[in-house]
Amino acid sequence: MKIRTSRIMNATPEQLWPLLTNSRMDVPGWFCLGLPRPVACELPRSVGGLGAERRCISDRGTIVQRITTWQPCSQLQFRMVSTNHSWGPCVESLEEEFQLIPCPRGTRLTRTTNIQASGMFRTLKEIGFCIGLKRVHLYVFKNWCSASGKVSME
């Protein structure tokens, strides 16, 4: 199942790019029913690039990801290699992509998540993941807007 969220951000791709690999999420948000609240994303070795590790940290665990596409200020893709989240056994694969496209009002930032559930009731699980991940996408974008007075959403 594919979940895609786009926003026009009042910032340049150069201003937004660092947030994709090093940011904290501390703006209040509403999460319920066990939905993990993102806390931070990071490059544990502080070096990005093809094959590098990226971590997505939430209040309920960490997702370790491997970068599969690294085009600074343009495109970042990665796939999950492990997680300690309780929902981990329900996921067969999880891949994400960020695209930054300059536009007249700033940058169109698009986040796409492809998730495949495993086991019985795959479709029902994917519908639940879709709802939860859309909430996560919007929460992360909201935090990135607050990360700098120069970044805002339209």
What are the tens digits of pLDDT across the range 52-75?
999 999 999 999 999 999 999 999
pLDDT tens track for 22-49: 999 888 777 766 678 899 999 998 889 9
pLDDT in tens, 89-118: 999 999 999 999 999 989 999 999 999 999
- Domain 2-146 class? alpha beta
Long-range contacts from 15-18, C-beta under 8 angstroms, 24+ separation: 15/148, 15/150, 15/151, 16/73, 16/100, 16/107, 16/109, 16/144, 16/151, 17/72, 17/73, 17/100
pLDDT of residue 36: 87
Q: Where are the domains of the chain?
A: 2-146
